[in-house]
Chains A and B, each alone.
Chain A
Amino acid sequence: MYRMADSNDEEQRILLTQAAPGMVLSRPVAMPNRVNLCPAGTTLSDSLITKLMNRGIKRIHVRGRPLPAPSLLGFAERLRQLRERFSRCRGQPGMGVIESMIEKEVVRRS
């Protein structure tokens, strides 16, 4: 069973396929025509997740940050990992340029 995050202020937008029983909705789930299917505060169960999938719901907001995200890594750590990944091919033609492009994108999104 999923363990709740400590903070009730945080929320995470996730794909419904990533949802697990025990997660708590931080926002209501609504159909495109704004008909509410579940209120905020609802605790998800397997059957509820399946029902929402069958209704075509793709994404939900849940309390806390239940899923690990690479973006949560510190900026310096992300750059260190990037350097490590390219450490064995950096000398090959063009690979240094590609590393720089990815670094630029990482910096832009940080």
Chain B
Amino acid sequence: MIPLSTIAAKLVTVPAMSFPRTITRIDRMIASGAPAAVVTATVCSDPFVSALLLGRTNAASGGDQLQLSSAVMVIGLESLRGLMRDVQPLPDGARKTAAGLWSLGNACGTMCRILARHSPPAARLNLEREALHVIGLIHDLGTIVALVVFPTEYEAAVVRLERGDGPFAALLKEELGADPCELGTLLARAWKLPALAATVIRHHRRPFQAEPHADLACLVHVARNLVIGCGFCAGRDAYVEAIDPEALARLELDSVRIERAIAGLFDEMQELELYEGFLTLTLAQ
């Protein structure tokens, strides 16, 4: 176990990481004069780079920017290119698991948008579709951090998970001293992510602790576990955790609405599930 203060100190200097192809591609796109919308579309398939961009934008503008398209407009494409130079390639050994986590983020973002169409309380949040997607995309930053910054502890927790010793979050807490929500919160603080995103990152496993933002935390909680159930697993943690029935009730999601949302996810992810991370894997094999 590592003391929480040591973990926090380590996260202050942690660089963003991504698949080498993503880093190269974004750089080439900006160099060749690609429109901002095209560059943004590539950035927003990557949870780590998206979080970095949001954090830098918020630190610079002092606002609570949750939309990547606006963030790109605020800092400009050349600044984004400079920011991408700080992004390091994911270590070889982490890419396979990272591909799963990137996929989970994309699926969860998509499901948040879909659920918001079916849930009246979520619709009343008045968040833009893009903001909902981004919050779902980056909600599990903590597991990404565990994978790339604390690989030994991550591996130990996974081995025990596969033995059936308990849920991944509790095992990581025992091995490392912080669970994924705590790790994500520490990174959100270090990177100056918007307060709303930081709250959801911290409380998506126990959404009612996120008041006054419990509706949004419930949305991410439900979306996350539904997409894991559909096959978009959290890296090597392939197990669905129980969805809090109170969260479903709060979002007014009955079985008909959930069924429609699941069908909608399968439709939308038919192509997105094959995103770049998996391609990188294929090429590496």
Contacts and interface: CB of A to CB of B under 8 A. Distances in A.
A20 B276 CA distance: 9
Contacts of B239: 85, 87-89
- Contact residues of B: prevailing secondary structure: helix
Nearest to B21: A20
Contacts of B271: 13-15, 59
A81 B263 contact: no
B279 interface: yes
B233 A56 contact: no
A6 interface: no
A9 interface: no
Interface in B142-197: 164, 167
A67 B282 contact: yes
A95 B241 CA distance: 9
B117 interface: no
Interface stretch (A24-32, A33-41, A99-107): A99-107
Contacts, number: 117
Interface stretch (B47-55, B121-129, B209-217, B223-231): B223-231
Interface of B: 21, 24-25, 28-29, 32-35, 38, 41-42, 45, 164, 167, 226, 228-231, 233, 238-243, 245, 248, 255, 258-259, 262-263, 266, 270-276, 278-279, 281-283
Interface of A: 1-2, 13-15, 17-18, 20, 46-47, 49-51, 53-54, 56, 59, 66-71, 78, 81-82, 84-89, 92-95, 97-99, 101-102, 104-105, 109
Given A20-B279, A85-B238, A101-B259, 18 more contacts: A17-B25, A17-B45, A47-B28, A49-B25, A50-B29, A50-B34, A51-B32, A53-B38, A53-B42, A56-B38, A69-B273, A70-B231, A70-B273, A71-B270, A88-B241, A98-B229, A99-B229, A102-B230
